[in-house]
Amino acid sequence: MILKQFSRQVILIAGLAICGLTAYAQGDASKGEAIFKAKCTACHKLDQRVIGPALGPALETETDDKWLTKWIQNNQALIAAKDPKALKVYNEYNQASMTVFGDLSDGDVANVIAYIRTEYKKTKEAAPAAGAAVVQETGPSNIVVFGLIGVIIIAFIVILVLNKVISTLEKLVANRPALAPEEVAVAEEGPSKGVLLAKMLVKNKKFVFFVCICGTIFFASWGWVTLWNTNVHTGYQPVQPIKFPHDLHAGVMKIDCQYCHSGAYKSKNATIPSLNICMNCHKTIDRLSTSKTPSSEIAKIYDALGYDPATSKYDSTKMHPIQWVRVHNLPDLAYFNHSQHVKVQGLKCQTCHGPVETMKEVYQYSPVTMKWCIQCHKRTEINIKGNAYYEKMEQVHELIRKGGKVTEAMMGGIECGKCHY
Asked if 59 and 52 touch (Cβ cutoff 8 Å), the reply is no
Give 400's contacts (C-beta < 8 A, 6+ positions apart).
406
The helix or strand, by DSSP H or E, that contains position 398, with its residue range, turns out to be: helix 388-402
| Spatial CA neighbour of 338 closest among 325, 354, 349 | 349
Instruction: State the DSSP code for 116.
Output: H
**pTM beyond cutoff 0.75:** no
Topology (CATH level 3) of domain 26-126: Cytochrome Bc1 Complex; Chain D, domain 2 (1.10.760)
pLDDT score at 303: 95
Instruction: State the DSSP code for 314.
Output: E
Phi, psi of 81 (to 5 degrees): -85, 5
The helix or strand, by DSSP H or E, that contains position 415, with its residue range, turns out to be: none
Asked if 410 and 396 touch (Cβ cutoff 8 Å), the reply is yes
CA pseudo-torsion sign 364, 368, 369, 375: positive
pLDDT score at 23: 42
Query: CB count, 10 Å around CB of 11?
Result: 10
The helix or strand, by DSSP H or E, that contains position 42, with its residue range, turns out to be: none
Predicted confidence (pLDDT) per residue in 160-170, tens digit:
777 777 777 77
DSSP string for residues in 255-307: --HHHH-GGGGTSSS--PPPHHHHHHHHTT--S-TT-SS--HHHHHHHHHHTE
Phi, psi of 319 (to 5 degrees): -70, 140
Query: CB count, 10 Å around CB of 313?
Result: 10
Q: Coil, strand or helix: which one is 26? A: coil
Asked if 43 and 52 touch (Cβ cutoff 8 Å), the reply is yes
Asked if 116 and 58 touch (Cβ cutoff 8 Å), the reply is no
CA distance 261 to 356: 13
pLDDT score at 141: 56
Asked if 113 and 68 touch (Cβ cutoff 8 Å), the reply is yes
Asked if 338 and 270 touch (Cβ cutoff 8 Å), the reply is yes
Predicted confidence (pLDDT) per residue in 77-95, tens digit:
888 888 888 888 877 776 6
pLDDT score at 176: 64
Instruction: Return mean pLDDT, the chain.
Output: 80
Give 11's contacts (C-beta < 8 A, 6+ positions apart).
none
pLDDT score at 374: 93
CA angle 85/109/83 to nearest 5° reads 15
Bridge partners (DSSP) of residue 314 are 307
pLDDT score at 171: 75
Q: Is 346 left (phi over 0), alpha (psi -120 to 50) or beta?
A: left
Residue 118 burial class via C-beta count within 10 angstroms: exposed 0-12, middle 13-18, buried 19 and up: middle
The b/e string for 157-189 (b: 16+ C-beta within 10 A; e otherwise) is: eeeeeeeeeeeeeeeeeeeeeeeeeeeeeeeee
Task: Give every residue of the chain whose pLDDT is below 70, as ranges.
Answer: 1-26, 50, 94-96, 126-142, 144-145, 176-191, 421
